[in-house]
Amino acid sequence: MSFQNNGWRFPRTSARALGSFCAGAALAILVGEAPRRGPLTSGTNRGPLTLGTDMVDVPAGEFEMGDAHGTGYRDERPVRRVSVSGFDVARTEVTQALWDDVAAWAQTNGYAFEGFERCPKRKPAHPICNVSWLDAVKWANARSEKEGRTPVYHLDAAQREVYRRGLADIPAQGVNWSANGYRLPTEAEWEKAARGGLNGHQYPWPSDGPEFSRFFDGSKANFWQSGDPFESDADCATSPVGYFDGRQTPVGANMTNGFGLYDMAGNAFEWCWDLYHDSGYGRPEATATDPRGPPTGYGRVLRGGSWISSDKYCRVAARYVSEPSYRCHCYGFRLVVSAGDCRTRRSAASPRRRRTPG
Ligand SMILES: [Ca+2]
Ligand SMILES: [Ca+2]
């Protein structure tokens, strides 16, 4: 295990080491320096939250991706302009309640989540965690089919066999990017969503400067020893999604970002589609429109840090990797839908949310 500054990371070649870590009692090794307290800054409140199912538009356009301050890790550079098509993103991580609702339907409709083992304590309003990348994409397919959408992920390049069971990785050609179903965000989509329309900032809220820890404290996000009321659960110290709404303890501001998103820093790590390559940002495909990661790599990317992460890993540019079959009590996900595909299903009683410049 290697340490860098006050953050932490596992060597890229031993992601499986996280297995023994998660199952064991080595949590203390993740402790960074005590979180600093700083002035509160406010995100934008997008109104009442519908847990787990509320989605907002992220507009098409370019943004600056990567570590603009040189304070992150090597794999976060070079910084470059990336163009992303518009998409819709969930305001929160997938909750345990939503997971259970879809999983109950899925298990009587041909799905099996072989790698899943829920957290021992049932917390419906908390993010689902302990979920592998493979089960996350299967579950996304299940939710799509349950709601009458076209599933995105297939086991074959011809896209004839919908991914519903098993632990086989899926080929890049097996993804129907034009389907109206739910899917994981690409890394570029995740980072654009996390930045909330801000350029070059360290966190989802105003935080422009190299001293990133100055902008981060326990009133803004759930991270390791952040002082929230959920710290006592050493096995899975997530907080309810929507907790950072201005009423949290310690009392803080509403920490939704410019797109109205919660927990883009901390709480559960969030699986992305992309394969990981430590020099992937320097490859030609990294500057393509709608980049979807390198053609080869190992593991799948996770973003945003978690309840077990330091401030450095909760930055919007920070990247993490794990094997797709691996699960941890800090691994969760949130879903996106390609542009236009949620809008047709919004009823007059649930009007489309206004776009935000970004
Ligand atoms: Ca915490
Ligand atoms: Ca998160």
Q: What is the pLDDT of residue 28?
A: 26
First to last CA, the chain: 38
> Which ligand does the CA of 221 lie closest to?
1
> Which ligand does the CA of 92 lie closest to?
2
What is residue 265's three-state secondary structure?
coil
Encode 209-239: b = buried (16+ Cβ within 10 Å), e = exposed. eeebbebbbbbbbbbbbbebebeebeebbbb
Could you tell me if residue 358 is inside a domain? no
Helix axis angle for 96-106 and 133-146, nearest 10°, is 70
Q: Which residues surround ligand 1, an ion (CB under 5 A)?
A: 222, 226, 228, 231, 307
Amino acid 204 reads P
Sign of CA dihedral 203, 319, 56, 53: negative
Q: 119 lies in which domain range?
A: 2-349
Expressed in angstroms and rounded, the spacing between residue 156 Cα and the centre of ligand 2 is 30
Expressed in angstroms and rounded, the spacing between residue 194 Cα and the centre of ligand 1 is 19
The pTM (predicted TM-score) of the whole model is: 0.84
Expressed in angstroms and rounded, the spacing between residue 314 Cα and the centre of ligand 2 is 8
Could you tell me if residue 355 is inside a domain? no
Q: What is the pLDDT of residue 53?
A: 72
Could you tell me if residue 72 is inside a domain? yes
What is residue 174's three-state secondary structure?
helix
Expressed in angstroms and rounded, the spacing between residue 271 Cα and the centre of ligand 2 is 9
Q: How far is CA 70 from CA 82, 86, 306, in A?
A: 18, 28, 22
Could you tell me if residue 201 is inside a domain? yes
Could you tell me if residue 252 is inside a domain? yes
Q: Report the number of distinct structural domains present in the chain.
A: 1
Expressed in angstroms and rounded, the spacing between residue 226 Cα and the centre of ligand 1 is 4
Instruction: Supply φ then ψ for residue 8, to 5 degrees.
Output: -150, 155
Q: Which of 138, 136, 96 is nearest to 326 (CA)?
A: 136
Could you tell me if residue 357 is inside a domain? no
Sequential pLDDT tens for the chain (358 residues): 222 222 333 333 333 333 334 433 233 223 232 222 222 233 344 556 666 578 999 999 999 999 999 999 999 999 999 999 999 999 999 999 999 999 999 999 999 998 767 776 778 999 999 999 999 999 999 999 999 999 999 999 999 999 999 988 889 999 999 999 999 999 999 999 999 999 999 999 999 999 999 999 999 999 999 999 999 888 889 999 999 999 887 788 999 999 999 999 999 999 999 999 999 999 988 988 999 999 999 899 999 999 999 999 999 999 999 999 999 999 999 999 997 654 444 433 333 333 332 2
Q: What is the pLDDT of residue 104?
A: 95
Expressed in angstroms and rounded, the spacing between residue 193 Cα and the centre of ligand 1 is 23
Expressed in angstroms and rounded, the spacing between residue 158 Cα and the centre of ligand 2 is 33
Could you tell me if residue 212 is inside a domain? yes
Expressed in angstroms and rounded, the spacing between residue 56 Cα and the centre of ligand 2 is 16
Task: Could you list the beta-strand ranges (E) of 32-191.
Answer: 55-58, 61-65, 80-84, 87-90, 182-183
> Which ligand does the CA of 231 lie closest to?
1
Expressed in angstroms and rounded, the spacing between residue 269 Cα and the centre of ligand 2 is 5
Expressed in angstroms and rounded, the spacing between residue 252 Cα and the centre of ligand 1 is 15
Expressed in angstroms and rounded, the spacing between residue 68 Cα and the centre of ligand 2 is 21
What is residue 214's three-state secondary structure?
helix
Q: Which of 99, 105, 13, 84 is nearest to 53 (CA)?
A: 99
* CATH code assigned at 284: 3.90.1580.10
Q: Based on DSSP, count helices (H) and strands (E) in the chain, helices before strands.
A: 4, 12
Expressed in angstroms and rounded, the spacing between residue 88 Cα and the centre of ligand 2 is 17
Instruction: Supply φ then ψ for residue 122, to 5 degrees.
Output: -80, 120
Q: What is the pLDDT of residue 42?
A: 31
Residue 9 per-residue DSSP state: E
Expressed in angstroms and rounded, the spacing between residue 53 Cα and the centre of ligand 1 is 24
Distance CA 106, CA 112 (A): 7
> Which ligand does the CA of 250 lie closest to?
1
Could you tell me if residue 356 is inside a domain? no
Strand pairing class (61-65; 80-84): antiparallel
What is residue 99's three-state secondary structure?
helix
Do the Cβ atoms of 318 and 76 come closer than 8 Å?
Answer: yes
